[in-house]
């Protein structure tokens, strides 16, 4: 298995632009998580899905953020409009069937100018 | 709200030393605890997963222990090598949810 795949790996955009981050979980995993990592706050959960349904979105910072999972093999995290404070590394992770072990993708480094 | 703390924040040791990284959490009602390694600019690699019913897990030179009642876990690295230099993150899953709560990490430097 190729592991969790994220794209793009790096994104540089200007304030006010729409940003879409993409994730392909490990095949057969039924949970998908989006996390954000910053120097100040460390790693924080944004949202997670179970069987394509959002379960907990309490970590989504504000209405500018939205996430979807249209099928078991694809999820998006969208920021519209983007702001400089959204600059961070965004990780996607998926969970296997046993013991809630989570496997992380390589992350997307987002820079909003 | 679950709070996870890792001490020390940074550690520098000479090659060959055995070392211990510490993790504490405020709510003992956890489902499991996971240790990760993160290299600069990279993603997270899962090192060890300890279920709440377990006391320790071992993988090669790594040994992780869990004392749920006291809210503590340690990661022991034997015979450290320069290649072990990275940030080590501790994360817990609470019984009430499936998401991971992370500590801020310990940045480890092993010097030749």
Interface contact flag, B100 A44, Cβ < 8 Å: no
Query: Which of A102, A107, A109, A111 to mutate against chain B (most B CBs within 10 Å)?
Result: A102
Within the 27-86 window of chain A, which residues sit less than 8 Å (CB to CB) from chain B? 31, 33, 35, 42-45, 48, 50, 55-56, 59
Share of chain B above pLDDT 70, in %: 100
| pLDDT value of residue B100 | 92
Residue of B nearest to A5 (CA): B43
Report the candidate in A100, A49, A30, A32 with the shortest Cα–Cα distance to residue B52: A100
Q: Taking residues A3-25, what's their average pLDDT?
A: 97
Report the candidate in B104, B92, B88 with the shortest Cα–Cα distance to residue B37: B88
| pLDDT value of residue A87 | 97
Res. A18 pLDDT band, cuts 50 70 90 = very high
Interface contact flag, A48 B99, Cβ < 8 Å: yes
Residue of B nearest to A95 (CA): B98
| pLDDT value of residue A33 | 96
Q: Number of helices (H) and strands (E), helices first, in chain A?
A: 0, 11
The CA-to-CA distance between both ends of chain A, in Å, stands at 36
Question: Average per-residue pLDDT in chain A?
Answer: 94
Closest-CA distance of chain B to residue A39, Å: 9
Distance between CA B26 and CA B90 in Å, rounded?
A: 13
Pick from B10-14, B32-36, B91-95: least confident: B91-95
| pLDDT value of residue A99 | 66
Residue of B nearest to A107 (CA): B43
A44-81 pLDDT, tens digit each: 999 999 999 999 998 998 899 999 999 999 999 999 99
Q: Does B99 touch chain A (CB under 8 A)?
A: yes
Within the 16-35 window of chain B, which residues sit less than 8 Å (CB to CB) from chain A? 31-32, 34
Distance between CA A59 and CA B101 in Å, rounded?
A: 12
B70-79 pLDDT, tens digit each: 999 999 999 9
Q: Does A100 touch chain B (CB under 8 A)?
A: yes
B18-69 pLDDT, tens digit each: 999 999 999 999 989 999 999 988 899 999 999 999 999 999 999 999 999 9
| pLDDT value of residue B63 | 98
């Amino acid at each position: 298995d190729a592991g969790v795949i994220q794209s793009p790996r790096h994104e540089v955009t200007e304030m006010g632009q729409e940003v879409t981050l993409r994730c392909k979980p490990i095949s057969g995993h039924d949970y998908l998580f989006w996390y954000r990592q910053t120097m100040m706050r460390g790693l924080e959960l944004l949202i997670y899905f179970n069987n394509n349904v959002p379960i907990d979105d309490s970590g989504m910072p504000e209405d500018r953020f939205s996430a979807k999972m249209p099928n078991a093999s694809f999820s998006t995290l969208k920021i519209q409009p983007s702001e400089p404070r959204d600059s961070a590394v965004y990780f996607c992770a998926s969970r296997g069937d046993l013991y809630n072990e989570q496997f992380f993708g390589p992350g997307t480094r987002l820079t909003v100018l | 709200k679950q709070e996870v703390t890792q001490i020390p924040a940074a550690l520098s040791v000479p090659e060959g030393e055995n070392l211990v990284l510490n993790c504490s959490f405020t709510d003992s009602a956890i489902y499991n605890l996971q240790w990760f390694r993160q290299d600069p600019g990279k993603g997270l690699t899962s090192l060890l997963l300890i279920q709440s019913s377990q006391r320790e897990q071992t993988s090669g030179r790594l040994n992780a222990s869990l004392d749920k009642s006291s809210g503590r876990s340690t990661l022991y690295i034997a015979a450290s090598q320069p290649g072990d230099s990275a940030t080590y993150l501790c994360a817990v899953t609470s019984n009430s949810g499936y998401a991971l709560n992370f500590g801020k990490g310990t940045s480890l430097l092993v010097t030749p």
